[in-house]
Structures are given as C-alpha cells and as structure tokens.
Amino acid sequence: MKIMVPIKRVVDYNVKVRVKSDNSGVELANVKMSMNPFDEIAIEEAIRMKEAGKAEEVIVVSVGPKGATETLRTGLAMGADRGILVNYEGETEPLAVAKVLKGIIAIENPDVVLLGKQAIDDDCNQTGQMLAQIMGWAQGTFASKVDLGDGSVDVTREVDGGLETVKLTLPAIITTDLRLNEPRYATLPNIMKAKRKPIDEKTPADYGVDMAPRLTTIKVEEPATREAGIIVENVEELVAKLKDKGAI
C-alpha cells in the first residue's frame, strides 16, 4: 500500500505575522517558514501506518517555491521515503493544487492521500475536499482517529455533536485534525539520512495545470486592536454600561 501526503510551506506558527506596508499581503521576506502543523500530523499518521506494516511507502508532495524543498526534507527526516516538489513561485489556490495532486495521483497510484485539514496561512480548508471531488474518491475530513484495514479505512471525525465514524472504501482522501496524533521530532541521524533521499522536481505544466490565480486580493489589514475591558462593581452597573454602549 502506498500513502501520499501533500504538505505546504507556511510562515512558522511561532512567528507574529505582519502585513506589508502597502497592504497587498503578508510579509514573507526574512521570515521563518516551516511545515504546516496539520500536515505534520498527516505525515506522522502515515509513518505510523508504515511502521505498523499497513503501508509500504510514504511519499511527501509539495506545490510551492524552491524553498519548499527544505519542508520536504523535514518530512523525509520524519520517516517518509521520497518527495516530489512541484515548483511554482506564485500564489497557490486550493483548486489549482488539487488539480496538480490529481496529476500526481494518476502517476503514483496511492491508496490513501493524507493531508492536513487546512493550512494556517490561508485557512481555506478546501484542498482535500476538492481533490476528493475531482478524483471521485471517498473522503473523511477532520479525522481524530484513523484505522486502516484491508481495502477500507475507518475514520473517526469530529462533528458538532461529538464524534462520527465513517467507513471508506479505498482509495480515499483523509484530512487530519489536531487530536489525531502528536508528530515526532526528527532525530539527527534521520535528518542526515533525509539528505540522501530522492526529491523529484516537477512543474505544474508537467501535469497540464494552469496555476494562474483566479482570485484577486484587494486589501490585507491587521485586525483592530482590542480595547481594554472595564471592571464593574455589580450587575446594575454592568447593565448600565451595556446600555450606554448600545449593546442592549
């Protein structure tokens, strides 16, 4: 069984994101970049499946700039077998990425595609669902538990009312949520081994995909600064303050 894990290079979650001075987007120059945290969870789950003898190969894929090679190396150091970089320097959109992934799937024929439920930069939460639609595959989203069987997979997913378990017939698309697992740290020996693992470099044109953005960002602004709260002595004063503010 083969598992494919698409990953994305994003601004590190510890970095305070800053808006460009011309409000055209987010400042990326000289900013620490790393793997999308939800994608780390997807890689960890794929590696655990391999360690359990349920999968033979784990492939990591990234659609993005040349710098995403280092992100792929991180996935390889965690335990993936090889990587594919689809080199594209512009802004990526979920549908275009899904079309590229479709092209890769046609060549690699994975049984399971595991990816993070969303990226922390654009928060779209669309790529997995779009990929499942254009592939015509079963999908399990927001997975908090994955039990891979023979020809099927049970996915426990988080819904408003609690947990829901669905049985998917393979091949399938699964998007991972935070509570699925705790990603491992790459050890130094594995980091060194990752440097020797292969990464194939492709372009969107190799898969016949036009990556030109179909959406235009008009303006990006930081959220308004929150005002300090007011301490009141009793309920009557609270109600009076709310009336003054027009809240009630």
Burial (CB count within 10 angstroms: exposed 0-12, middle 13-18, buried 19+), residue 126: middle
Name the band, by pLDDT with cuts 50, 70 and 90, for residue 29.
Answer: confident
Name the band, by pLDDT with cuts 50, 70 and 90, for residue 75.
Answer: very high
pLDDT of residue 245: 79
Residue identified by tokens 């399938």 is 172
**Average pLDDT for 45-69:** 95
pLDDT at 168 over 80: yes
**Chain segment 200-248, per-residue pLDDT in tens:** 999 999 999 999 988 888 888 888 888 888 888 899 999 988 888 777 7
**Average pLDDT for 2-25:** 90
DSSP secondary structure, 113-145, as one string? EEEES--TTT----HHHHHHHHHT-EEEEEEEE
Instruction: Decide: 84 and 199 in contact? Cβ < 8 Å.
Output: yes
pLDDT of residue 159: 86
pTM of the entire predicted model: 0.85
Name the band, by pLDDT with cuts 50, 70 and 90, for residue 169.
Answer: very high
**Chain segment 80-120, per-residue pLDDT in tens:** 999 999 999 988 999 999 999 999 999 999 999 999 999 99
pLDDT of residue 95: 95
Q: What are the structural domains, with CATH classification, of the chain?
A: 2-215 (3.40.50.620)
> Which bin fits 12, alpha (ψ -120 to 50), beta or left (φ > 0)?
beta
